[in-house]
Amino acid sequence: MIIHFDQEKQAWYTESQEEGLTLGTLPLLPAGEKPLTEGTVFLTGMRGNEAGPVIAVLTGGHPSKPFSGDELLYRTLHEEACAQGGVVAVVPISDISGIDSMTGYVHLENGGWTPVPIGSPHVIYNRVPARKVEKSEAFLTIRQAARDAEIPFFNEAFLTKLIIDKTLRGDPELAEFLPCTEKLESREQFMRWAKSRDAFLLKISSGSRGRGIYLIKKSASGFLSLQSRKGTLAPVSAKGCWRFIESAISSRTFLLQDYIALKQHQGRKFDFRLLLHQNQNGWMCSGVGIRQAGQGQVTTHSMYGGDLLTPENTDIDPAPVIELALRAASLFSPSFTELSMDIGCDEHNRLWLFDINSKPMIFDEHAIRLKGASNLLSICHEKAGFA
């Protein structure tokens, strides 16, 4: 069905002359002889007399824009909704007055965004970009209201590295693919790691996008260097290194993790990024990307000078990588509809699972972006009863 939002009348219209039609909880008015104008026209599916699905993409506010977050992701979802049917609306959590009276921003043909009422959505897709927002009363209220109203709520929260490690180690076979990891709790523990290893990682449990990861390496003299995405500190003793990080660990949870020497391409290490989605039949892989670290970088993120590789650049069969990712995803709550994973292969061809994200960054590969959006929209149709 074709529907249109009239900005002047602040009402939804349909080309159908049938009465009693709705867009979710909002009435759809017959357009009569007036043609539906361009700009805010949508193709939707039908569930009885109800058009949809209406998909609320939950995000944060922004001081100078209508909303925060990844606009390319939102546009990609909108474009896929134009193909499959549905209305994708970006909803800043600060604008929500109630679960049944939401207003969200929809994409226009001219590239802009305009606010429209969407009532009570069929699906809420959680893309809130900050952990502190997920702890706010506003977020917790909306999440509980969605549960009470039985509205599917995709990806209920961020994951932490500590939770990920504990979850995955619950599977003895999967635990073999995890680097040795410990929560950092004392000076004595840090000193033991510094004494027993030539290199290890220090990670903030809540870190993301390569932030909060430090590589600690021991020189022949026994001094330690601490390297992050911002650079490397001059070598210091283990005690000096501890003094440097001691104040930080008093307020945040840090992990110690074995450093794994990954395979390299043209002198720079690389790893795999996988995008996964879960429908009623289970988890599926929407795409596999390969990231090569920038020169001298700790992580392989493209935003820090990393490059994209293709499978032809490596001699690794992606099938076991995908199999490992799907098994790991199966251990997480059914509320997680989308995950991405970082998996590496060491110099001895052994796979290692490094991280899992419940708010994946949008992939640089166009084909993976489109496949991910297609799978996500199909799941929205499925969960909302429009399949």
Phi, psi of 109 (to 5 degrees): -65, -25
* Whether residues 14 and 77 fall in one domain: yes
| CATH number of the domain within which 347 lies | 3.30.470.20
In a domain, 387, yes or no: no
Residues 253 and 353 in one domain: no
Report pTM. 0.92
The reply to whether 84 and 134 lie within a common domain is: yes
Give a yes or no: residue 327 inside a domain.
Answer: yes
In a domain, 386, yes or no: no
Q: Which three-class secondary structure state does DSSP give residue 342?
A: strand
Rounded distance, CA 229 to CA 213, Å? 8
Considering the domain boundaries, does residue 379 fall inside one?
A: no
The pLDDT, as a whole number, for residue 305 is: 56
Note whether 193 and 49 are same-domain residues: no
Assess if residue 38 is contained within a domain: yes
Domain-located, residue 374: no
Is residue 291 a part of any domain in this protein?
A: yes
Both tokens of 325, joined, read 């990712």
CB 204 within 8 A of CB 252: yes
227 and 106, same structural domain?
Answer: no
Structure confidence at residue 221 (pLDDT): 85
**Number of helices and strands in the chain (H, E):** 9, 25
Count of domains observed in the chain: 3
Name the CA dihedral angle for 177, 217, 209, 300, rounded to a multiple of 10 degrees. -70
Same structural domain for residues 231 and 266?
no
Encoded tokens for 227: 């390297």
> Is residue 250 domain-shared with residue 280, that is, in the same domain?
no
Q: What is the pLDDT of residue 158?
A: 94
Q: Is residue 269 part of a domain?
A: yes
C-alpha to C-alpha distance for 321 and 5, rounded to whole angstroms:
45
Q: Are residues 169 and 308 in the same domain?
A: yes
- Please identify every stretch of the chain with a pLDDT value under 50, giving residue numbers as ranges: none
Range of the domain at 254: 181-258
pLDDT per residue over 114-161, tens digit each?
Answer: 999 999 999 999 999 999 999 999 999 999 999 999 999 999 899 999
Pair 247, 284 in one domain: no
Peptide bond into 117 cis (omega under 30): no
pLDDT at 39: 56
Tell me: do 206 and 350 sit in the same domain. no
Same domain, residue pair 10 and 98: yes
CATH number of the structural domain spanning residue 104: 3.40.50
pLDDT at 378: 97
Q: Are residues 147 and 195 in the same domain?
A: no
Quick one: tokens of 131?
């952990």
Distance CA 202, CA 197 (A): 13
